[in-house]
Amino acid sequence: MTRRLARPYALVGGRTTPSLPDLRIETQVRRTAAGLRALPTAVFERREILLLCAEPVSIAELAVRLRVPLGVARVLVADAAADGGVSVDIPDDAPISVELLQRVLDGLRAL
């Protein structure tokens, strides 16, 4: 396991609120065509997000894979969405599936 040199709040410039409201843990994130074009020049967490989001992935899963707190993942995803690198599918108020909760739990246990 690699260890980050920067503190999580430094990754987002001290921001704690994402520019996109309603980014819940089950929000699905997927790389866009613009994100694919930006991939060769993307660095650090932005590059990791673009690589991980080739297929839809939840914000909770991204947080686990990036090894950052959920709030940091939300801010990073909102930044990537603002740049057009990813699209977000904010779910309606339907109940969360048991499968999604199991995946989140498995990801947390993997930490």
Strands of 28-31's sheet, edge to edge? 57-58, 28-31, 86-89
Element (H, E) at 29: strand 28-31
pTM (predicted TM-score): 0.71
pLDDT tens across 38-85, in order?
Answer: 999 999 889 999 999 999 999 999 999 998 888 889 989 999 999 999
Query: 7 pLDDT exceeds 60?
Result: no
